[in-house]
Amino acid sequence: MAAGIEELKMICREEDVPFFSDAELQYHLDRAGGNVDLAAYNCLCIKAEDTTLTINGLTTADSSKYFRRMASRYRPTNSGILTGDN
């Protein structure tokens, strides 16, 4: 599974914008049943939280839109049939 974590790190740009520990990435990978794309989607959604920080008039850029766009690339397709309450 180490290869899965490394791929997940690349997809989530962990080297450039660190957010998750290796243990957290492993957790998300395990929760996704080893599916790197699904784990990436979940991690990128978490990373897409509003990251704006304001201190004494100094404001940092919000990167949430960027990570939401990245997550959309890995969003699972829902091809199941929805059943109604009858």
Mean per-residue pLDDT over the chain, rounded: 85
Q: Output the DSSP codes for 61-81.
A: PP-HHHHHHHHHHHPPP--SP
The pLDDT score that the predictor gives to residue 52 is 72
pTM of the model: 0.72
The answer to whether residue 86 scores a pLDDT higher than 60 is no
- Mean pLDDT calculated for residue range 17-35: 95
pLDDT in tens, 42-79: 999 999 886 677 788 777 777 788 888 888 888 887 65
Contacts of 25 (CB under 8 A, 6+ apart): 5, 8, 9, 12, 14, 39, 43
- Sorting pLDDT into bands at 50, 70 and 90, what band is 1? very low
